[in-house]
Amino acid sequence: MAKTLKSVLADAGIPMDFESGGQAPETLTDREITREPHPRVQKLKDIFMESLSSASNEFPYWYTREYMLHDSEVPVIRRAKALKSAFSHSTPVIFPGELLTMRKAPYVRGSFPMPWLSEGFYMAKEDEFYQEALKRGSASVDEHSKFGQGGGNVPQSFGKVISIAGKFGIRQEEVPALLKLAKLWFGKSVDDLGNKYEQMVPGYETKEKIMRNIVCMFDSGFTLPQGREVINYYYPLEYGFDGIIKIAKEMKAKVAGRADGDGMVGMNRLYNYEAVIHVIEGVQNWILNYAKEAARLEALETCARQKKEYREMAERLEWIAHNPPRTFIEAFQMIETVHIAALNEDAISGLAPGRIGQVLYPYFEQDIAAGRITEDEVIELLELDRVYKTSIDCFASVGVVGGVLSGNTFNTVSIGGLDKNGRSAVNRLEYLILEAGATNAMPQSTLALLYDEKLPEDFLMLAMEVIKTGAGYPAFMNTPIAQEFLVNQYGHEGMDSEEARAWAIGGCLETSPCTWKPLHLNGREYWIPGGAGQPTSVGVHFVSMPKVLELTLFNGIDQNTGEKVYEPHNRSLDTYEALEEQFKKYWKETVGVLTLTNNIQHDIWRKNNMAIFSSLLKPDCLDNGHLINELGYRYNATFNVESTGTITFVNSMAALKKMVYEDRELNLEEMKTALKENFGFRDAHEINSFSLADQEKRDDSDNRWDKLHFKALQSPKYGNDDHYADSILLEWENFFCPDCKNYESLYGHTMYPCQISVSTHGAMGSATIASPDGRLSGTTFADASLSAYPGTDKNGPFALLNSATVWDHSMSQNCQLNIKVHPSAINGHEGAKKLLDLTRAYMRKGGFHIQYNIVDSKVLKAAQEHPENYRDLMVRVAGFTQYWVEIGKGVQDELIARTEYEGV
Amino acid sequence: MEKLTYRDTRNYAPIDVTKGMDLLTREIVMADAEAPEGYEPIPKCKLCTNFTGTDTFMGTCEASMNEPKFIAYPDMVATTCEMYQAM
Ligand code: SF4
């Protein structure tokens, strides 16, 4: 058998040690804390665990049928009518035992394609539309993206079920109609129409090559045009749907025929309000159809308790279809409904409910005081919410859903933070949210704890206990750092320090602008936080830093495909400074062209597929009459530039600087040859393992590259409080963060950096040859943006924290640091306290985000070998929690290999 | 009378494309398994007088306002279609 890198290094006396701070026990160690949900929740959870991701044609059928009927209508009205029809015709499905209801499609994990956004990617591979998508580069990333083969994914067709887009199952009876509907959108979808116009951008050819060679992971405007933002439930809670219709009608009368000084879009307000009314009527029909179904089930039911629950559900739905909620459970049903409605309007991933503990607190406080509900009943509802949120699937391509999202939809709930007056915002309901996160540990909603020194100690300790369950949440995010970023980025749109306190996490880790609104309940006023900004994480998606470095070293030519991506620079790169300068030139060229092409995609989106439902939720659309596309939101400077592979890049630059430019142990040409030769190893795809340690020597290897490879692996690495490598990170951040301001979004605002990898470090690593840090071809990059590369952080966790905080995190929307800790390292109360101390130390140093995987690496290995025994094992990847069996192998391998701390 | 599969009845809540819950017995059942006698058929386009077509999986909705008439597919659930006319 061929030798693995691990054994080669062991022979050379170099241990490839992935344990730090001690040694893990030999036996498999489970997490210290495991809890159980309420029985009814367990039953519904069991159903979820057995359910497959299932796609339905219903919503696209009715949307398309209505849309095609109104080809001469004003675009916003045409879309509103299509949405109304689709909502009105969605079939309700309710299961016994549910207390909350409403779902995306008529399955537990239902979703549906939106061919008006993009249709080529889910055609058969031989179909001309698919081939066209491949040529544009929008499908090539699919080849490097892998779903986990287990859980609810449907990676292959079977029986009467056809697998589409690598994840979803659809009934064969629906496939001909699915394809026919898709073809009706050919040339009209945002993807197709956007492509027609983006070709007019100078440098478009380069953009195509950038996408084909996976320098960038995916387009923005037609994949997930919304999401990674914080929703706002205020208007439905305060006014109810009838109340919003009343506002829209009154405003229509005020604005009809008037420009009011705005000769460009002032007149559009009339159509916008009219569109709002259509869409709300559709959502009301949808809710009332669920109410009818609940009433029908009541009539069928023989069990008295279940009969009563169906009746109460029907009454609740009938009430909230028109009126503002009066109780905790009505308010919960309302926000659940609003959430799913927003998700059905567009392809969205990362629609965060935000600080629901504070949004729902008025109802909680008054119901508890009046004895209408108990804390135990509240926990049960919170547990149920976790089943619903985890059931949310998003229909998009393999590259997007698999390669980027790992099937996760990031409905993150934020807890903690400060109130409007700057005091701790923690309330009793947020303790229960944490409790429910432990008693019903499921990937959604991932919890984000908005850390501030003012937060109560017992709340933070409870958070540590939840982390010890291994759920991967709550993550800790730093409130003062976020506020500084928000005031800097949105100050010109009116953001001040009081408003910045309303912030929450959108998506998994995006600092999102929010605002305060006064909610009234039984004569009392409560200021509640909610989203007030456009989607974040739109704009330039995931640019691979190691791939741009590869192209810099090889004169613009991709070494996997042989394609010339950039014009050759023809420079000798004889100094480190020349290398750095050329890297930045290619980087800027990449970001520059992607900004322009994505602006066009989003512009087409806003002309024909603008958000109506999401817009009416967000301040200040209902007040000013403008939707998202006309800058109706309070904060619009939300477009960003995303990077991937930061630490792999930093380590690579450190190796080049040391070995080639300073110590001159070899010249650049020799290094390039070694990289092309993959240091004498086989490609990761040949052995189907994407972790460095498992890579195998080629049979014909003459060990020529061994010495060089060892040195590359031992060159200075980020994560050790070593200034040599850390200064390269500092230099990069000081270039990258301000550079984003050189690009302008379609909304006329400058952009900002977003430094999360989600799952792209797997797919992008898969498409990139060996790197100068010793990483081998096809293997996964370092996780997130500040996690150390597996096995390279050897000086303990505090050294890693020092490395990570070498730069000012408030310059960026976010950054991520994940640490893997063996369960035995944080045993008992003392262990939890140590973990809190570590977390607090990071926050005090100015770190923005930290999170932990509390897991024994041996358990992960066992789970990879026997996934059938680990259906409910959850892990933290980048900024989210996901079931182990539903993530791709590249990301799994990195997680197994990541340094495991045996003591903190 | 022709036997119905679970997925063609109203006493069935689909969990996914392969299975669902028999709402009367609370059992998890396969979507294509035969439902017990007496289960109420669920309205679908294939049972609607407005549906025309001979293709197994495709047809036309004669009640649509579109010109030409819009497609329909026999398997689509029609509990929410206000133009559904039972055969
Ligand atoms: S009227 Fe409704 S149920 Fe009948 S064929 Fe048309 S869409 Fe189907």
Contacts 24+ apart (CB under 8 A), A728-732: A728/A650, A728/A653, A728/A654, A728/A657, A729/A646, A729/A647, A729/A650, A729/A803, A729/A806, A729/A807, A730/A806, A730/A807, A731/A580, A732/A646, A732/A649, A732/A650
Contact A58 B76 (CB under 8 A): yes
Question: Residue A869: its pLDDT value, please?
Answer: 84
Q: Determine the atom of ligand 1 nearest the C-alpha atom of B85.
A: 4
Please check whether residues B35 and B55 belong to one and the same domain: no
Beta carbons of A35 and A438 less than 8 angstroms apart: yes
CA distance A203 to A23: 53
User: Are both B73 and B58 inside the same structural domain?
Assistant: yes
Chain B, nearest residue to A43 by Cα: B26
Taking only the tens place, the pLDDT of each residue in A434-456 is: 999 999 999 999 999 999 999 99
The pLDDT value given to residue A19: 66
Which of A518, A377, A405 minimizes the C-alpha distance to A881? A405
Residues A569, A585: contact at Cβ < 8 Å? yes
CB contact under 8 A, A176 and B73: yes
CB atoms within 10 A of CB A353: 26
Contact A569, A582 (CB under 8 A): yes
Determine how many CB atoms are found less than 10 A away from the CB of residue A112: 27
A-to-B residue pairs, Cβ atoms closer than 8 angstroms: 96
pLDDT for residue A825: 86
Q: Residue B17 is nearest to which of A96, A171, A176, comparing CB atoms? A: A171
On whether both B65 and B82 belong to a single domain, the answer is: yes
So what's the pLDDT on residue A407? 67
pLDDT of residue A136: 57
B49 & B85 share domain: yes
Catalytic residue among A510, A580, A630, A900: A510
Q: Are residues B34 and B56 in the same domain?
A: no
Report CA(B81)–ligand 1 centroid distance (Å).
6
From A447's Cα to the closest Cα of chain B, the distance in A is 27
pLDDT of A3: 79
Give the residue from A373, A768, A291 showing the smallest Cα distance to A559: A768
Q: Note the ipTM here.
A: 0.98
Asked if the Cβ–Cβ distance from A172 to B55 is below 8 Å, we say no
The three-state secondary structure class of A20 is: strand
Question: A319 C-alpha to center of ligand 1: Å?
Answer: 29
Q: How far is CA A217 from the centre of its chain?
A: 14
| Residues of B in Cβ contact (< 8 Å) with A57 | 73, 76
Quick one: pLDDT at residue A692?
A: 87
Residues B38 and B4 in one domain: yes
Nearest CA in chain A to B21: A95
CB A533 within 8 A of CB A514: yes
Domain that holds residue B52: 43-87
B64: nearest CA partner in chain A? A65
Q: Answer for the pair A473, A352: CB distance below 8 angstroms, yes or no.
A: no
User: Does ligand 1 come within 6 angstroms of the Cβ of B83?
Assistant: yes
CB atoms within 10 A of CB A354: 30
Which one of B84, B85, B87 would you pick to mutate in the ligand 1 pocket, going by the greatest count of ligand atoms within 8 A of its CB? B84
- Mark yes or no for CB contact B80/A95 under 8 Å: no
What is the distance in A from the centroid of ligand 1 to the CA of A94? 23
Residue identifier of the C-alpha nearest atom 8 of ligand 1: B45
Q: Are residues B49 and B72 in the same domain?
A: yes
The tokens of A626 are what? 């403008």
Pair (B53, B27) in one structural domain: no
Query: Ligand 1 centroid vs A23 CA: distance in angstroms?
Result: 66
Q: Assess B28–A contact: CB distance below 8 Å, yes or no.
A: yes
Q: Could you tell me if the CB of B51 is within 6 A of ligand 1? A: yes
What's the DSSP call for residue A162?
Answer: E
DSSP annotation of A227: E
Q: Identify which of B44, B51, B52 to mutate to test ligand 1's pocket (most ligand atoms within 8 A of the CB).
A: B51
Average pLDDT, chain B: 96
The verdict on a CB contact (< 8 Å) between B18 and A169 is: yes
Residues of B in contact with A169 (CB under 8 A): 16-18
Query: Under an 8 A CB cutoff, do B73 and A160 touch?
Result: no
Same domain, B37 and B69: no
CA distances to A345, A614, A896 from A25, rounded to whole Å, are 50, 51, 16
Q: CA dist A106 to A44, A113, A279, A578, A832, Å?
A: 16, 14, 20, 58, 42
Q: How far does the centroid of ligand 1 lie from the alpha carbon of residue A293, in Å?
A: 19
Do residue B24 and residue B64 come from a single domain?
no
In the prediction, which pLDDT does A127 show? 67
Q: A866: how many CB neighbours lie within 10 A of its CB?
A: 9
Q: Which residues of B touch A172 (CB under 8 A)?
A: 57
Nearest residue on chain B to A111, alpha-carbon basis: B16
Specify whether the CB–CB gap between A268 and A300 falls below 8 A: no
B28 and B62, same domain (yes or no): no
Answer yes or no: do A65 and B15 touch at CB < 8 A: no
State the smallest CA–CA distance between residue A87 and chain B in angstroms: 10
- Give residue for tokens 């398309």: A64
Q: Which of B15, B64, B80 sits opposite A47 (nearest CB)?
A: B15
Asked if A815 is an active-site residue, the reply is no
Choose the closest CB to A160 out of B32, B73, B74: B32
What pLDDT, on the 0 to 100 scale, is given for residue A266?
98
Tell me, yes or no, if A510 is annotated catalytic.
Answer: yes
Record the tokens describing residue A349, joined without a space. Answer: 């991933």
Which positions of chain A have pLDDT values less than 70? 1, 12, 14-33, 124-150, 398-399, 401-407, 878
Looking at the structure, tell me whether residues B84 and B52 fall in a common domain: yes
Selected catalytic residue, list A216, A394, A508, A740: A508
Question: Which of B46, B76, B80, B82 most suits a substitution to test ligand 1, by most atoms within 8 Å of the C-beta?
Answer: B76
Mark yes or no for CB contact A300/B21 under 8 Å.
Answer: no
Looking at beta carbons, which residues of chain B come within 8 Å of A175? 57
pLDDT at A862: 87
B17·A169 Cβ contact <8 A: yes
Most B CBs within 10 Å: which of A48, A95, A310, as the mutation test of the B interface? A95
3-class DSSP state for residue A648? Answer: helix
Among the listed residues A87, A59, A255, the one whose alpha carbon sits nearest the alpha carbon of residue A613: A87
Q: What is the pLDDT of residue A540?
A: 96
> Which residues in chain B touch residue A170, judged by CB atoms under 8 angstroms apart?
17
A92 to chain B: which residues are within 8 Å by CB?
Answer: 79
B21 contacts in chain A (CB < 8 Å): 47, 95-96
Do A177 and B71 count as a contact with CB atoms less than 8 A apart? yes
Whole-angstrom CA distances from A109 to A168, A645, A685, A719 are 10, 32, 31, 40
Q: A782-816: string of b/e by CB count within 10 Å (b at 16+)?
A: bbbbbbbbbbbbbeebebbbbbbbbbebbbbbbbb
CA distances from A709 to A545, A788, A803 (A): 21, 19, 24
Indicate the residue of A90, A92, A170 with minimum beta-carbon distance to B17.
Answer: A170
Chain A interface, best mutation among B12, B15, B60, B64, by max A CB count within 10 A? B15
Whole-number CA gyration radius for chain B? 14
Residue A885 near residue A151, CB atoms below 8 Å? yes
Torsion, Cα of A863, A865, A869, A871 (10° steps)? 50
Centre of ligand 1 to C-alpha A58, Å, is 12
Per-residue confidence (pLDDT) for residue A622, from 0 to 100: 98
Residues of chain A contacting B48 with CB distance shorter than 8 Å: none
Query: Per the CB < 8 Å rule, is A176 touching B58?
Result: yes
> In CATH, what number is assigned to the domain containing residue B82?
2.20.70.100
CA of B48 to the centre of ligand 1 (A): 6
Q: Give the C-alpha separation, A24 to A856, whole Å.
A: 8
Beta carbon of B72 within 6 Å of any ligand 1 atom: yes
The alpha carbon of A129 and the centre of ligand 1 are apart by a number of angstroms equal to: 29
* Number of domains comprising chain B: 2
